């Protein structure tokens, strides 16, 4: 019978996947990590991370991601690029289709994370890349001395609004409620920042513009009053969607598409584990992602040891 190409394949190269790669490689499993873009996931597009322990002055997302990748590769992690299109059983292995390639492994860790959720208002899709953005670190510098909007009230929206004050002359934080969801320390900074104006109880109903963003149409959800706001750009941070389309029918997912696991990170499919933001969990942070990654790799190692392989 044919042998598996790898002991362990990890789908996704954010902090969860890279940590699983580090632990897998150190357990001397032949480990391959498949990444769609550049390693680091959502963390890599975060300008400054200050709640990951060990860096008393914080660390940039790209620097942390690069260090995690270099560290894991030092112990033998292999990294390849491409999108995982399919995961299927090929007894006793699992087979992944990565673009045109097929790879097999004894165990798989899914760490494919999340992608920005779209609000779905008119103008959002048509002006994407022309003033509509989901990544302040990538696009912030384009809005020097302009007024911009940031939509949402969670950690991402408030942190990125603060970051954008480096470039923009004014940042309107548009939030649908009268209280922010973000961590208190981040809220305090936003309240103190003279460049940030919070528009409470307000939703965006349209992004206005022809060849680029010219403004937003807003509505107060309590008074129902509408108004127009002139901005040169708008950043949406209204939550995330799990990257689990290729797993439907293979693994048990919750009603929002997050992978259900037990506390060893085992999914409903024997030999498949999940780690990081893609998992149904309480807190989505780098600190919790690395814990998931370490646990998933350890559990995968134990699973591999527990079976006889061709």
The three-class DSSP label of residue 66 is helix
Q: Among 7, 139, 147, 277, which one carries the catalytic annotation?
A: 139
**Contact with ligand NAP (CB under 6 A): which of 76, 154, 257, 291?**
154
Selected binder of ligand NAP within 157, 168, 278, 300 (CB under 6 A): 157
Q: Does 5 bind ligand NAP (CB under 6 A)?
A: no
| Residue 181 binds ligand NAP, judged by CB under 6 A | yes
The nearest distance, CB 120 to ligand NAP, in angstroms, is: 8
Question: What is the SS3 assignment for 70?
Answer: helix
Residue closer to ligand NAP, measured from CB, 221 or 270: 221
The rounded distance, in Å, linking the Cα atoms of 275 and 15 is 9
Question: Among 7, 56, 63, 135, which one carries the catalytic annotation?
Answer: 135
With respect to ligand NAP, which residue has the nearer C-beta, 152 or 271? 152
Cα–Cα distance for residue pair 260/251, rounded to 1 Å: 8
* Contact status: 7 vs ligand NAP (CB under 6 A): no
Which residue's Cβ has the minimum distance to ligand NAP?
Answer: 154
Q: Binding of ligand NAP at residue 82 (CB under 6 A)?
A: no
Structure tokens given for 150: 């940031």
**138 tagged catalytic:** yes
Strand ranges, E, within the chain: 6-11, 31-35, 78-81, 84-90, 93-98, 101-110, 114-116, 132-133, 147-151, 170-174, 196-199, 202-208, 215-220, 226-230, 233-236, 240-242, 272-274
d(CA 175, CA 204): 9
Q: Per-residue x/- marks for ligand NAP, 220-259, CB under 6 A?
A: -----------------xxxx-------------------
Tell me which DSSP letter residue 111 carries: -
Instruction: Check if 178 is active-site.
Output: no
Q: How many residues bind ligand NAP (CB under 6 A)?
A: 20
Q: Which stretch binds ligand NAP (CB under 6 A): 31-39, 71-79, 175-183, 264-272?
A: 175-183
Residue 267 CB-density burial (10 A; 0-12 exposed, 13-18 middle, 19+ buried): buried
Respond yes or no: is residue 135 known to be catalytic: yes
Q: Are 94 and 105 in contact (CB under 8 A)?
A: yes
Which residues ranging from 18 to 57 are in contact with ligand NAP (CB under 6 A)?
A: 51
Distance CA 211, CA 224 (A): 29
- Minimum Å gap between C-beta 116 and ligand NAP is 8
296 in Cβ contact with 26 (< 8 Å): no
Residue 155 as a binder of ligand NAP (CB under 6 A): the answer is yes
Q: Which stretch binds ligand NAP (CB under 6 A): 61-69, 141-149, 176-184, 210-218?
A: 176-184
Q: Is 9 in the site for ligand NAP (CB under 6 A)?
A: no
**Pairing verdict, β 101-110 and 272-274:** parallel
Q: CA dist 231 to 119, 131, 171, Å? A: 18, 9, 9
Task: Decide: is 176 part of the binding site for ligand NAP (CB under 6 A).
Answer: yes
Active site residues: 135, 138-139
Q: Which residues bind ligand NAP (CB under 6 A)?
A: 51, 119, 152-157, 159, 176-177, 181, 203, 237-240, 283-285
């Amino acid at each position: 019978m044919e042998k598996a190409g790898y002991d362990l394949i990890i789908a996704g190269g954010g902090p969860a996947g890279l940590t699983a790669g580090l632990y897998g490689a150190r357990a001397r499993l032949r480990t391959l990590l498949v990444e769609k873009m550049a390693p680091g996931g959502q963390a890599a597009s975060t300008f400054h991370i200050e709640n990951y322990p060990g860096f008393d002055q914080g660390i940039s997302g790209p620097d942390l991601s690069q260090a995690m990748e270099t560290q894991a590769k030092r112990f033998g992690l292999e990294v390849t690029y491409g999108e995982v299109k399919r995961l299927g059983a090929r007894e006793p292995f699992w087979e992944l289709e990565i673009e045109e390639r097929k790879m097999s492994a004894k165990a798989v860790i899914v760490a494919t994370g999340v992608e920005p959720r779209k609000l779905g208002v008119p103008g959002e899709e048509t002006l994407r890349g022309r003033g509509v953005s989901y990544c302040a670190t990538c696009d912030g510098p384009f809005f020097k001395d302009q007024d911009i909007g940031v939509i949402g009230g969670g950690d991402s929206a408030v942190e990125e609004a603060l970051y954008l004050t480096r470039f923009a002359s004014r940042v309107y934080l548009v939030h649908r409620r009268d209280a922010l969801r973000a961590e208190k320390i981040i809220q305090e900074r936003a309240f103190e920042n003279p460049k940030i104006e919070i528009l409470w109880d307000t939703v965006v109903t349209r992004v206005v513009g022809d060849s680029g963003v010219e403004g937003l149409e807003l509505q107060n959800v309590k008074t129902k009053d509408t108004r127009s706001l002139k901005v040169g750009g708008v950043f949406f941070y209204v939550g995330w969607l799990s990257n689990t389309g290729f797993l439907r029918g293979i693994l048990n997912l919750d009603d929002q598409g997050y992978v259900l696991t037990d506390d060893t990170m085992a999914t409903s499919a024997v030999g498949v584990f999940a780690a990081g933001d893609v998992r149904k969990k309480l807190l989505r942070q780098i600190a919790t992602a690395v814990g998931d990654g370490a646990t998933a790799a350890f559990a995968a190692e134990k699973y591999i040891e527990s079976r006889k392989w061709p």
